[in-house]
């Protein structure tokens, strides 16, 4: 995108923060990093990290979203971005990013006049020599998909590949519905036009055509088979990294994991296929 468009997106975010309605009244700090912060004229997106508190309402929505396999961070992300695309949000990841040596530039801090944030934004001047920031923790399976794979996830998975705990391959899924009754019933969690349903259907159909036992599948946090006699899950399916904070632990209970990196209504459905090769090498709690 053009730099002017990226600046407009950040300006609109500041307008929302200035209004201060829930849940934005819980935000403490906003930082920018990556190619935009370095002055790139055409950043691929705007990398933003947001530090925020929580309250009873946000906690309740978080738990409710998890129980229905939805993105628990969606209320905060929607409030920050609106319907705009082009901003890549990292929530409550400042310490991790700083530990990784990634330079963060403060944009906004609670309690300050918003004009101070606008001055900081104006100070991020264009630099024709600044290209796209190099991506950390890259492996071949992430090529072309890295903008949709959160940095902490890339770091965890790349480390597991290095230790031999897992192998990872890239997939492009065919949009189609599975035939198995358990898989069809699982898809009723979403409306017919939901990008999550489209992604889930494609992943389930892929698993089905490759001989996976549908009784042993966990989809977006829930088992397809509800009986206590169901076999241990051999395949986990995730949609858009909603479980990325627990992925290293979830891999302990599966032999394979398919993650649709960006569920969409019409665009190609790219996924990474993770195979556990040495369970003893998985990172501990």
pLDDT digits (tens, 9 = 90+) for 41-66: 988 889 999 999 999 999 998 877 76
Evaluate whether 168 touches 276 at the Cβ level (below 8 Å): no
Q: Quick one: the chain helix, strand, coil %, rounded to 5? A: 40, 20, 40
Q: How far apart are CA 67 and CA 76, in angstroms?
A: 18
Q: How far apart are CA 262 and CA 271, in angstroms?
A: 8
DSSP, collapsed to helix, strand or coil, labels residue 97 as: helix
What is the model's pLDDT at position 135? 62
Stretches where the chain sits below pLDDT 70 are 66-70, 131-136, 227-231, 285
Q: Tens of pLDDT along 171-197? A: 999 999 999 999 999 999 999 999 999
């Amino acid at each position: 995108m053009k730099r002017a468009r990226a600046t407009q997106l950040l300006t609109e975010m500041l307008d929302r923060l200035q209004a201060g309605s829930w849940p934005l009244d819980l935000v403490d700090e906003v930082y920018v990093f990556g190619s935009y912060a370095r002055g790139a004229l055409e950043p691929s997106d705007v990398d933003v990290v947001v530090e925020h508190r929580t309250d009873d309402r946000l906690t309740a929505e978080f738990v409710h979203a998890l129980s229905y396999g939805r993105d628990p961070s969606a209320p905060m992300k929607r409030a920050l971005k609106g319907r705009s695309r082009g901003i890549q949000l990292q929530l409550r990841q400042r310490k991790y990013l700083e530990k990784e040596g990634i330079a963060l530039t403060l944009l906004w801090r609670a309690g300050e006049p918003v004009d101070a944030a606008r001055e900081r934004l104006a100070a991020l001047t264009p630099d024709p020599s600044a290209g796209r920031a190099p991506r950390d923790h890259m492996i071949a399976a992430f090529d072309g998909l890295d903008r949709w794979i959160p940095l902490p996830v890339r770091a965890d998975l790349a480390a597991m590949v290095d230790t031999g705990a897992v192998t990872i391959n890239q997939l492009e899924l065919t949009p189609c519905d599975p035939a198995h009754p358990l898989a069809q019933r699982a898809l009723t969690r979403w409306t017919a036009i939901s990008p999550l349903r489209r992604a889930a259907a494609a992943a389930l159909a892929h698993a089905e055509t490759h001989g996976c036992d549908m009784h042993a599948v966990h989809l977006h946090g829930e088992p397809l088979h509800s009986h206590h006699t169901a076999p241990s899950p051999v395949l986990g399916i995730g949609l858009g990294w909603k479980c990325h904070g627990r992925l290293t632990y979830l891999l302990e209970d599966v032999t394979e994991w398919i993650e649709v990196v960006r569920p969409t209504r019409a665009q190609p459905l790219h996924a990474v296929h993770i195979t556990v090769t040495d369970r003893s090498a998985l990172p501990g709690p």
